[in-house]
Structure 1
Amino acid sequence: MNPKPKPYPTVSLYGVPFSKMSMKETVEYLKLAIETRRPQRVITGNPIMLMVGLDNPSFHHTLATADLVVPDGSGVVWAARRLKQPVQERVAGFDLLHELLREGERHQWSVYLLGASSEILQTAHDKLKQQFPGIRFVGYRDGYFTDRDDGEVVAAIRAANPDLLFVARSTMNQEPWIEKYQSVLNVPVVMGIGGSLDVVSGKLKRAPALFRKLGMEWFYRLLQEPSRFKRMLVLPQFALKVIKDGDKVLKHNK
């Protein structure tokens, strides 16, 4: 499967088109999408997602057909640079969330939060509301719902009619759910933000700037959540696979 060409520069890693735009360009691109009501499904891509996609054709399709995949993981930035197709910079989902809210304050955008536990969601919602008083927070719901509740969840989001929908669920629930309902949600920008609300709420601490600069944010998170150890083993596997595959990484087709 060859993804449709994008209106911005990309590098294709295992068939997934990662944006080469800077953070500033990404925010401008999504601002235009909101102004023109042009739906954008945004994925904050990382090596773990890519490796899952290589074993799971359905999930690979979800990644490859997104309107925008930003290079969230430092491993993605490294791979693109190694293959001489560098991205401008890492566009971390946590930072993009905050940059969009900062931009949204100037335009009084409306936001809906979906995901996390009730306690974390409530705390994160209250903190973001205080931090970004110019944003209209038009609704929120925790992420603990089943397929049977989807109709009710979608209806609530449609009724709230937000400019931005941020979804904070586990990857395998988050991205396929957004893909499934994007066409009926009627939201210009829908973005998966994973565990960002855990950090916003204060449950987890974000890695210090030095860790982020060195591309070691994953290690800092592992120190906070040792249970993620098995998942983190995918990172060296990804690096070895990129080295072994060479240019085939860029020519991969599903």
Structure 2
Amino acid sequence: MGLMPNNTGIGEVPVTSIFGVHVSKLNMSQTVDVLEAAVASKKPHQVITANPIMIMAALESEENMRAMSEAELIVPDGAGVVWAAEQFGDPVAERVAGFDLMHELMKRGEQLGWTAYLLGAAEEVVQEAASRLQKQYPKVRIVGVRNGYFGAPENAEVIESIRRAEPDLLFVARDAKTQEPWIARHKHELGASVIMGVGGSFDVISGKTKRAPVAMQKMRLEWFYRLAKEPSRLPRMMVLPQFMRKVKKAKKSGK
């Protein structure tokens, strides 16, 4: 076990290392407590919800690895990450799924009067997600909503919009290649305390797609459910067996 030193307001976090990526060993409740402290600090904290695909991308991309190494907190979102930690003999407390963490943060925000900003996905999706979240968590003030279809020329405008809103929570749903690097590059400009990439969460919240049944989640088969619903994900999912082979090889060699 190691500790992730942090002087931005959340203290040291116990971590396990998976190919150099420091993944938090905290359970869901502890994670939310840590991020409550992050909000209170008024300093930027990037939260990465790590899965095997993201870890493999970090091993192949200097920019992605830099985002991982500079993140204030990396939680074990993917079942494969939980499995890898077990294989290496330094397990995490439990899977901390990004979708669930987002809702737990909104629940805590209900109690403490936090504000939130939603950035990403298609316009109709993010607007519907914002509407549903506002109804579900009426005491969390949603201070901004913007779709994720923008490039470098619009960066300054998007950043300024978020900075003016000063959200406690900023949820970002962009494609896998740009989401974490974009947050890492701009987190100190955004004026948000907790900045978390949430992938396809807005699609689920808006009703556009469905999440795997709880039984499949408990069996660590959420990835299979998503693949069955979206066969176009197959090329991306081929990284999973590569990750498993890499873990088994590293375990066998003791590295």
From 60, 64, 69, the equivalent of 2:69 is 64
* TM-score between both structures, scaled by the size of structure 2: 0.94
Residues 122-148 of structure 1, C-alpha deviation per residue, up to 9 Å, x if partnerless? 111111111111100001100001100
Shift of 1:4: 6.0
CA distance in 1, matches of 2:244, 2:220: 13
Aligned residue for 1:43? 48
Residues 51-98 of structure 1, C-alpha deviation per residue, up to 9 Å, x if partnerless? 111111221111122100000000000000111100000000000000
Which protein, 1 or 2, shows the higher relative CO under an 8 Å CA cutoff with sep ≥ 6? 1
Aligned length: 249
Aligned residue for 1:187? 192
Counterpart mapping for 1:111-130 below 5 A: 111-130=116-135
Unaligned runs of 5+ in 1: none
CA distance in 2, matches of 1:38, 1:183: 8
SS, match of residue 133 in structure 2? helix
**Structure 1 segments of 4+ aligned residues over 6 angstroms from their partners:** none
CA distance in 1, matches of 2:32, 2:65: 25
CA distance in 1, matches of 2:97, 2:253: 26
CA distance in 1, matches of 2:31, 2:204: 22
CA distance in 2, matches of 1:124, 1:247: 45
SS, match of residue 177 in structure 2? helix
CA distance in 1, matches of 2:243, 2:5: 25
From 106, 113, 126, the equivalent of 2:111 is 106
Letter in 2 for 1:207: A
Identity among equivalent positions (%) equals 50
Shift of 1:224: 1.1
Letter in 2 for 1:75: G
CA distance in 2, matches of 1:31, 1:62: 22
CA distance in 2, matches of 1:21, 1:210: 23
CA distance in 1, matches of 2:252, 2:164: 47
Letter in 2 for 1:104: G
Counterpart mapping for 1:33-182 below 5 A: 33-182=38-187
CA distance in 1, matches of 2:252, 2:114: 42
* TM-score between both structures, scaled by the size of structure 1: 0.95
RMSD of the alignment, in Å?
1.6
Shift of 1:248: 6.8
SS, match of residue 211 in structure 2? coil
Unaligned runs of 5+ in 2: 7-11
Shift of 1:5: 3.2
Aligned residue for 1:5? 5
Is residue 2:30 matched to residue 1:30? no
